[in-house]
A = this chain, B = another copy of it.
């Protein structure tokens, strides 16, 4: 099926021109109120500000919603172009969008299922885990913990453990084990992250450092440390992932991904495609940066 769709290019162009009349860009995202998604949306909105496009965000929670949207959005005339954030995607879905002439860009982690037939912006969360481990090792930590997310059943997005795998790999290379008791996974929330940290800090040989798979969760960990009277970083070092906007303002050490920049690039790819539907597929792998601030 996929190859046949490529024959539709002239039709695609005609439809793309017709679609332009809507002046509407869509974003399909699960958990759109998580801080990292909000920062990506800020990047998207910053490019559209001043352009004759309005931004419409579709909040996707269940798998059924996700599948329905991916099946129908190419056919219904709701938006001129679509940015899909953090949702798995395959070649069949990609082919449907290409056939319809709707511009589409994916923004996801490296280990999520995705299609090479659509332009994409990719973050390597396994690399983030490795960088966090290397930073904590370089600070002399030998007993470390991991606070991460876990997808509830029937959730729209897949929740990779690449971040944890990378963290564990880099520790193993240094001869440091990460026993299961030092790994806490729970559905994403500040409250859960604080409880997860308390559980790790209750261990008889408690960790001297915790890597949280997001800055939001790292803020939960910092709150647990304060509740226990632990000084950060001398009693407990904390590092997050994302570099959300407030991270710098609260002095949080983190592995940064350029969240706003990724939103900006996504919408730029989309506008390029809308201007020229025959444009080559592009892929950007986002750079990651260690920000060592006050918490490590």
Contact = CB atoms under 8 A, between A and B. Distances in A.
Interface of A: 32-33, 38-39, 41-42, 45, 48-49, 54-61, 65, 190, 194, 216, 219-220, 222-223, 226, 245-246, 248-251
A139 to B, nearest CB: 21
Contact of A250 (B41, B54, B61, B223): B223
Contacts of A223: 248-251
A251 B219 CA distance: 11
Contact of A59 (B57, B194, B226): B57
Given A49-B61, A54-B60, A246-B246, 19 more contacts: A33-B38, A33-B39, A45-B59, A48-B59, A54-B58, A54-B59, A54-B65, A55-B59, A56-B58, A57-B59, A194-B249, A219-B249, A219-B250, A222-B249, A222-B250, A223-B248, A223-B249, A223-B250, A250-B250
Contact of A41 (B32, B48, B245, B251): B32
A209 to B, nearest CB: 19
A143 to B, nearest CB: 24
Q: Give 6 nearest A-B pairs by CB, closest first.
A: A57-B57, A55-B59, A223-B249, A33-B42, A219-B249, A33-B38
Contacts of A41: 32-33
A190 B246 contact: yes
28 contacts: A32-B45, A33-B39, A33-B41, A33-B42, A33-B45, A38-B38, A45-B61, A49-B61, A54-B59, A55-B58, A56-B56, A56-B58, A56-B59, A57-B57, A57-B59, A190-B245, A190-B249, A194-B249, A216-B246, A219-B246, A219-B249, A219-B250, A222-B250, A223-B249, A223-B250, A226-B251, A246-B246, A250-B250
Contact of A57 (B56, B220, B222): B56
Contacts of A61: 45, 49
A41 B45 CA distance: 17
Contacts of A59: 45, 48, 54-57
A295 to B, nearest CB: 12
Contacts of A56: 56-59
A220 B194 contact: no
A38 B48 CA distance: 19
